[in-house]
């Protein structure tokens, strides 16, 4: 629940490529403006609601204190193919080939054009230097993480499908993720090349400390123990978007659980995203391939976890798998009542018309509550709309998707990021809103930092009040 996809913090090339695509998509003619929405009449005053503050860390819930850092336990399910614990020398250095090629290309262009096209040559050389430096940095960090996994005897999950014959594609396990002492809400702190950080430091960064694969029965035994140890007997499952590596998905899950102060089991479902803008169509194929596996896992989780409530959080392309799973479950059991708690659909890269006609009925049937976050600043979904030719459910503005039974929240007023696609986990105000939904079950009408918007009497959604973006970041 890293274009960057989700926008993996490691893939600078993907980000630059996406920006180029967005610029191309945005250079066409604009559509005729439509009448703007009207603010709804003030709703009746209820008991005053304030944005929930984040309390001090309770003992024995979602994190364990070790010295001055916290360890978050993240259960995982994945249909990615595992690498062996050993690291062949060539495979370990192969990621450095592409950044080296980019750097050499920049040097070549600069050398050939430096006389006739001096300005262009300098720009190309600088861009090549910056991209290659970021990619070298990411490759160094990835190699170090794989070496650490090899030393621990752990598997490393890559971007390929787990298609070994005669075996279940799903692998289950548990991870430990450390949260630094000075962690800030909405950040997955990572090493920065600007600070010349070439390795992860648990005192400064969110670090994946261990990955332990478990047999199915042992997995659900440990999961039940975690659920039983919580007051609310609940769990949440995060399904990431495209361009996300396994370790980035797990670290994001830990960050969300920690920032939400989630009392229960945090679970990451990671499908085989290839992690790159050029692999968007391959990720589309893989998100369709993972649907049956996600359905199997969610059914097993609802049956064997011991959780009274299972919340679902999906981001970007991950919403395609989740909505299709819910549709399949609803069609198979048309008389089934609420199966899941809150379902959060963040920046869904889903066809808006398909969402309205196919998936919304399943959400109304199977979920206690559903919230869709959209933004008009989402350049990634604007590019996806240009690619597919149809509006995406996660884009707001004149094509805001509003369907009965699903509360749509426009995050544009508080989303100030460059790409505008990862606000669900990066923005403290969104984290605060998520916590009010998951932790307190507050509907949009009772979240005082939102206001109701109307385009027609029966077409309403919610948006953040202007002052919400100016509120101080919640204290941890």
Higher pLDDT, 53 or 320: 320
Question: pLDDT tens digits for 228-254?
Answer: 999 999 999 999 999 898 999 999 999
Two tokens, residue 465: 């009040």
Q: For the chain, how many helices (H) and strands (E)?
A: 14, 15
Residue showing tokens 């919610």: 462
Query: In the prediction, which pLDDT does 43 show?
Result: 42
Pairing label, strands 309-315, 265-270: unpaired
Question: pLDDT tens digits for 430-464?
Answer: 999 999 999 999 999 999 999 999 877 777 899 99
Two tokens, residue 387: 């690619």
Indicate the SS3 state at residue 72. Answer: strand
Pairing label, strands 265-270, 207-214: unpaired
Question: Is 377 a residue whose pLDDT tops 70?
Answer: yes
Question: By mean pLDDT, which of 89-93, 149-153, 262-266 is the weakest?
Answer: 89-93
Question: Is 17 a residue whose pLDDT tops 50?
Answer: no
List 207's β-bridge partners, or say none. 178
CB neighbours of residue 343 within 10 Å: 26
CA dihedral 292, 295, 299, 301 (to 10 degrees): 110
Give the residue among 257, 174, 167, 160 at the shortest CA–CA distance from 208. Answer: 174
Residues 6+ apart with CB under 8 A from 195: none
């Amino acid at each position: 629940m890293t274009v960057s996809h989700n926008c993996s913090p490691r893939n600078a090339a993907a980000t630059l490529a996406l920006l180029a695509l967005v610029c191309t998509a945005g250079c066409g003619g604009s559509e005729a403006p439509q009448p703007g929405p009207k603010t709804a009449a003030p709703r009746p005053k209820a008991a005053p609601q304030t944005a929930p503050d984040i309390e001090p860390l309770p003992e024995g819930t979602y994190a364990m204190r070790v010295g001055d850092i916290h360890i978050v336990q993240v259960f995982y399910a994945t249909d990615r193919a595992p690498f062996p614990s050993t690291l062949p020398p060539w495979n370990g250095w192969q990621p450095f080939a592409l950044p080296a090629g980019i750097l050499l290309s920049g040097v070549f262009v600069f050398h050939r054009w430096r006389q006739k096209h001096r300005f262009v040559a300098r720009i190309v050389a600088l861009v090549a230097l910056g991209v290659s430096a970021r990619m070298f940095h990411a490759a160094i960090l990835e190699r170090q993480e794989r070496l650490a996994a090899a030393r621990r005897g752990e598997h490393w999950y890559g971007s390929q499908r787990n298609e070994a014959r005669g075996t279940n594609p799903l692998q289950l396990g548990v991870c430990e993720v450390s949260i630094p002492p000075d962690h800030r809400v909405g950040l997955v702190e990572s090493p920065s090349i600007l600070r010349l950080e070439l390795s992860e430091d648990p005192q400064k960064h969110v670090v994946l400390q261990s990955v332990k694969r478990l047999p199915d029965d042992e997995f659900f035994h440990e999961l039940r123990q975690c659920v039983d140890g919580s007051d609310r007997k609940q769990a949440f499952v995060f399904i990431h978007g495209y361009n996300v590596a396994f370790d980035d998905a797990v670290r994001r899950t830990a960050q969300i659980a920690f920032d939400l102060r989630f009392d229960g089991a945090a679970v990451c479902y990671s499908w085989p995203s290839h992690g790159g803008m050029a692999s968007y169509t391959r990720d589309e194929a893989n998100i369709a391939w993972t649907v049956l596996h996600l359905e199997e896992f969610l059914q097993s989780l609802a049956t064997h976890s011991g959780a009274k409530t299972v919340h679902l959080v999906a981001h970007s392309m991950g919403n395609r798998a989740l909505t299709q799973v819910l549709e399949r479950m609803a069609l198979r059991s048309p008389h089934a009542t609420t199966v899941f708690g809150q379902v959060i659909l963040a920046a869904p890269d889903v066809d808006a018309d398909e969402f309205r006609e196919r998936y919304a009925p399943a959400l109304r049937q199977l979920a206690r509550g559903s919230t869709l976050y959209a933004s008009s600043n989402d350049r990634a979904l604007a590019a996806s709309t240009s690619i597919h030719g149809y509006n995406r459910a996660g884009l707001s503005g004149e094509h805001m998707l509003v369907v009965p039974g699903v509360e749509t929240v426009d995050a544009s007023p508080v989303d100030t990021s460059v790409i505008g696609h990862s606000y669900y986990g990066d923005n403290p105000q969104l984290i605060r809103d998520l916590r009010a939904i998951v932790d307190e079950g507050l509907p949009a009408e009772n979240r005082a930092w939102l206001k109701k918007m109307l385009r027609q009497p029966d077409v309403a959604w919610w948006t953040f009040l202007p002052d919400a973006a100016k509120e101080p970041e919640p204290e941890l």
